[in-house]
Amino acid sequence: NNVIQVIELDDTTSDEEEEDDDEEEEEKKEVEEKEEKDQEKKDKKDAKDDVEMEVEEENEKKEEETAEDTSKTEEETPADDADMEEEEDDDEDDDDDDDDEEETLKQAAKHKALLSVTNSLIAKSTKLPFGERFDVTPSTHLPFGKHNKDNNPLDIHDDLKRELAFYNLAMEATIAARDLCHKSRIPFSRPDDFFAEMVKTDDHMAMVKDRLIFETKKMDAVAQRKSNKEQKLRAKEKQSNKLEEKARQKREHMQMTEQWAKTAAASNRGSGGVLNDGDDSAYLQKLAGNNNNNNKKRAWTDRDGNKQFGVNKKREAADKKYGFGGKRGRFKQNDPKEAGDMSAFNPRGNFGGAGTKGVGGRKGKGQQRAGKRARDASRSRK
Residue ranges binding another protein (CB under 8 A)? 49, 51-52, 55, 59, 110-111, 113-115, 117-118, 121-122, 125, 127-142, 144-145, 156, 162, 166-167, 169-175, 177-181, 183-190, 194, 196-200, 204-205, 207-208, 211-212
Nearer Cβ to another protein (80/193): 193
Minimum distance from CB of 243 to another protein (Å)? 50
Minimum distance from CB of 197 to another protein (Å)? 5
Beta carbons within 10 angstroms of residue 111's beta carbon? 15
Minimum distance from CB of 66 to another protein (Å)? 14
User: 274, 283, 290, 295: which is closest to 256 by C-alpha?
Assistant: 283
Minimum distance from CB of 324 to another protein (Å)? 55
Nearer Cβ to another protein (52/244): 52
Judge whether 369 and 357 are in contact, CB under 8 Å: no
User: 95, 78, 105: which is closest to 24 by C-alpha?
Assistant: 105
Minimum distance from CB of 322 to another protein (Å)? 49
Minimum distance from CB of 113 to another protein (Å)? 5
State how far the Cα of 145 lies from the Cα of 3, in Å rounded to an integer.
Answer: 31
Nearer Cβ to another protein (149/185): 185
Provide the phi-psi class of 362: left if phi over 0, else alpha when psi is between -120 and 50, else beta.
beta
State how far the Cα of 123 lies from the Cα of 36, in Å rounded to an integer.
Answer: 18
Nearer Cβ to another protein (162/253): 162
Judge whether 10 and 25 are in contact, CB under 8 Å: yes
Minimum distance from CB of 57 to another protein (Å)? 12
Looking at the DSSP assignment, which residues form a beta bridge with residue 225? Answer: none
User: 76, 59, 105, 101: which is closest to 12 by C-alpha?
Assistant: 76
Q: Which residues contact 242 (CB under 8 A, 6 or more apart)?
A: none
Phi first, then psi, for residue 303 (nearest 5°) are -60, -35
Minimum distance from CB of 97 to another protein (Å)? 22
Nearer Cβ to another protein (194/351): 194
Nearer Cβ to another protein (189/346): 189
Q: Which residues contact 5 (CB under 8 A, 6 or more apart)?
A: 78
Report the DSSP pairing between strands 307-308 and 300-301: antiparallel
Q: Which residues contact 315 (CB under 8 A, 6 or more apart)?
A: 296, 300
State how far the Cα of 304 lies from the Cα of 271, in Å rounded to an integer.
Answer: 58
Beta carbons within 10 angstroms of residue 158's beta carbon? 12
Q: Which residues contact 358 (CB under 8 A, 6 or more apart)?
A: none
Minimum distance from CB of 151 to another protein (Å)? 17
SS3 call for 239: helix
Nearer Cβ to another protein (140/231): 140
Nearer Cβ to another protein (35/172): 172
State how far the Cα of 166 lies from the Cα of 377, in Å rounded to an integer.
Answer: 88
Nearer Cβ to another protein (204/328): 204
Minimum distance from CB of 181 to another protein (Å)? 7
Nearer Cβ to another protein (26/163): 163
